[in-house]
Structure formats: structure tokens, C-alpha cells
Amino acid sequence: DTGVSQDPRHKITKRGQNVTFRCDPISEHNRLYWYRQTLGQGPEFLTYFQNEAQLEKSRLLSDRFSAERPKGSFSTLEIQRTEQGDSAMYLCASSLEGNTIYFGEGSWLTVV
């Protein structure tokens, strides 16, 4: 499969724990994005990388959230000291320059 892949697909964690999600974009896509989606809402933009540079972060991304893309390929999204309000699906997407954005299957996070 050559699409965007995300891992894990599902994560249940206790409040206060840290979680990390990984995203492998479509190869050769230089742009990588993270979005968050809650039930009944469309995805909301979190952050965006062009190659290894993080070019924009949404105000939704509090200090507990950090994203990296160290070699310009895969990316990680870490949430520290999780809260119940962090429960959502975290979507990764990639594109080549300004072309169509392709989404991964998402990582469901449930904070209990």
C-alpha cells in the first residue's frame, strides 16, 4: 500500500499519560499535515511541515502537543499529559507541493 499510513490506529490511554502517533506519508510527498477530527465535525488543521520544517501551528495545538518530522519523511505527533478533551481522531495527510492532499486512515485516541 503506497498511501499515507498511521500508527497506531487506536489508542486508549489514561488521563495524564503521554501518547505518540506516527505518520508515514506517501513517498516523495514533501508536505505533511496533521488534523484533528471529533464526532460531528470536519477535520481541523493542527500543523504543517514542508520537508523537515514545521511551517505553521494552529492555536489548537497547545504546549502539550509537539510534532516533528526529523528527516523530512515520517512524522510523529506527541501529546503529553493527555486530557479527556484530547479524545479525537488524529489525521495525517500529505501532498506534493500545492497538489491534492491525501489523508491517512487516522489514529483514534480515547482518553479515559
Partner 1 sequence: EDKVVQSPLSLVVHEGDTVTLNCSYEVTNFRSLLWYKQEKKAPTFLFMLTSSGIEKKSGRLSSILDKKELFSILNITATQTGDSAIYLCAVPLNSGGSNYKLTFGKGTLLTVNP
Among 4, 23, 61, 77, binds partner 1 (CB under 8 A): 4
Contacts of 97 (CB under 8 A, 6+ apart): 30, 31
CB closer to partner 1 out of 11 and 31: 31
CB closer to partner 1 out of 56 and 83: 56
Strands (E), 1-112: 5-7, 10-13, 19-24, 31-37, 44-50, 53-57, 65-68, 75-79, 88-95, 102-103, 107-111
Q: Which stretch binds partner 1 (CB under 8 A): 11-19, 63-71, 78-86, 92-100?
A: 92-100
- Binding to partner 1 (CB under 8 A) within 11-70 occurs at 31, 33, 35, 40-45, 48, 56
Note whether 48 and 31 are within 8 A (CB): yes
Q: CB of 47: closest distance to partner 1 in angstroms?
A: 10
**Dihedral of the alpha carbons of 101, 65, 43, 41, in degrees to the nearest 10:** 180
CB closer to partner 1 out of 14 and 27: 27
Q: Which stretches of the chain bind partner 1, using CB under 8 A? A: 4, 31, 33, 35, 40-45, 48, 56, 91, 95, 97-106
